[in-house]
Structure 1
Amino acid sequence: MATTNETQFSEFECDLLSMKIGETAYDVKCIGNIEQESEVRKVTKKCCGVVAKSRTYGTGNGTLKLTAHMPYKCYVELHAMDGADLKDGIYGYGRGSLHPVVPITGHITNEDGDEKYKAWPCCTVSTGPADKIENGAEEVAEVELEIAFTPDVNGYGVYEALADDLDEATKAAWMKEFTPALMQVATV
């Protein structure tokens, strides 16, 4: 059933993110917050020095800011700290650490428990590892990541859909098997 003009969805909680690195999909379930900012390109037309027309276009680029507790192996792989020249269990970060491009998918609910799915198909952590340790703290600090997203082969940097608008095959594949082709209309 397609969304009507009266449908409201206020993003309230992101209870699951999935980050697919190579063949492994890592679940991030302990999320503090996630913030998305998409970039735009503005074009203006002036007549006699006065703006007569203004248009705004999406670029497909943007930034995600994530605070969460995540699997250590996921953190290591997002920062390309798993050098082939290091012994098993030892990780390093330096000049050879090229951050991978990964898809990130999210399951979001509103205040009534209605579901929405989001995906950022081409993401790269845009900051290096950063730590803050506070001895005697009463709360365990979350990992903070700044993630750049760029458009995929279809020109989209972000996808989203209400669960009620998705067919069962797309819904089942969204979190772990996301690809840009999954989002496209099937051609015969």
Structure 2
Amino acid sequence: MPPKVIEEFDTVRITEFGIKFKNEETAQAFGCVGKLEGESEVTALIKKCEGVEKKRKSKVTKMIITLSAHVKLSAQRRIFGIKTDGLKPGVYKYGADSIGEDFTLTAVGVDEFEDEEKLIAFSNCSANTGLKLSIENGVEEVAEIELEFTALVDEKRGIYYEAYLSELADEEKDEFVSEWKTKFTPGLALAIPVETP
């Protein structure tokens, strides 16, 4: 029996965020995300005839992703380049020499109406803004930090990937889901898997 084809998916909740830094094999926990927003940036290819636009094609060049989250300190330090090099134990520095690491971000989107899940991944990301802080005394809820990053085109010309669990073949589903969450690469999404050297 062929896998089910999802025709409607309302993402009610997003969870299980993981972050895999460049040149590392395994993702680590990212933290707890309250909100994710993404917007594509495009360039237009235009054909004019006698000064009148006749044809137009838009190509996606990148996505700007904004998160509101409680980010784990280990991930936050690497995203923004916060380091302890040359400092006393327990002291960290963020400043003019701070350079963040590139990363892949994965998560699970949940449709609670249909009891369905989808895997998502942004494969080639880097911080778009500097560290933001928000501290307020006397509040009843701890403030989330805001993180804006750029998702760029990867080596397979992808920016954003998604996979619906109900559409995956049963015989490979568990292994595929585990690989996606912990070791995502663009090659994982290919119909014919590509072995990495």
TM-score normalised per structure 2 = 0.85
Q: 1:66·1:145 contact (CA, 8 Å) conserved in 2? A: yes
1:130 aligns with 2:132: yes
Q: Give runs of aligned pairs for residues 1-188 of structure 1, distance below 5 A.
A: 1=2, 4=5, 7-21=7-21, 22=24, 25-59=27-61, 61-112=62-113, 113-166=115-168, 167-168=172-173, 169-186=175-192
Note the C-alpha offset of 1:63: 1.0
Poorly superposed stretches of 4+, deviation over 6 Å? none
Residues 28-53 of structure 1 show CA distances to partners (whole Å, capped at 9, x for unaligned) of 35221001112212122222332222
Question: Hey, what's the Cα distance between the residues in 1 that align with 2:160 and 2:193?
Answer: 22
Note the C-alpha offset of 1:87: 2.9
- AA aligned opposite 2:11: E
**Structure 1 segments unaligned to the other structure (5+ residues):** none
- AA aligned opposite 2:7: T
Residues 46-102 of structure 1 show CA distances to partners (whole Å, capped at 9, x for unaligned) of 22332222212222x111100011211211121111242223322111222111001
Question: Hey, what's the Cα distance between the residues in 1 that align with 2:138 and 2:193?
Answer: 59
Note the C-alpha offset of 1:141: 0.5
Question: Hey, what's the Cα distance between the residues in 2 that align with 1:25 and 1:107?
Answer: 14
- AA aligned opposite 1:90: V
**Structure 2 segments unaligned to the other structure (5+ residues):** none
Secondary structure of residue in 2 paired with 1:43: strand
- AA aligned opposite 1:103: T
What is the RMSD of the two structures over their aligned residues, measured on CA atoms?
A: 2.0
Q: 1:125·1:148 contact (CA, 8 Å) conserved in 2? A: yes
How many corresponding residue pairs?
186
Secondary structure of residue in 1 paired with 2:27: strand
Change (3 A) 1:24 1:143: farther
TM-score normalised per structure 1 = 0.89
Question: Hey, what's the Cα distance between the residues in 2 that align with 1:183 and 1:24?
Answer: 17
Change (3 A) 1:181 1:98: same
Question: Hey, what's the Cα distance between the residues in 2 that align with 1:66 and 1:165?
Answer: 28
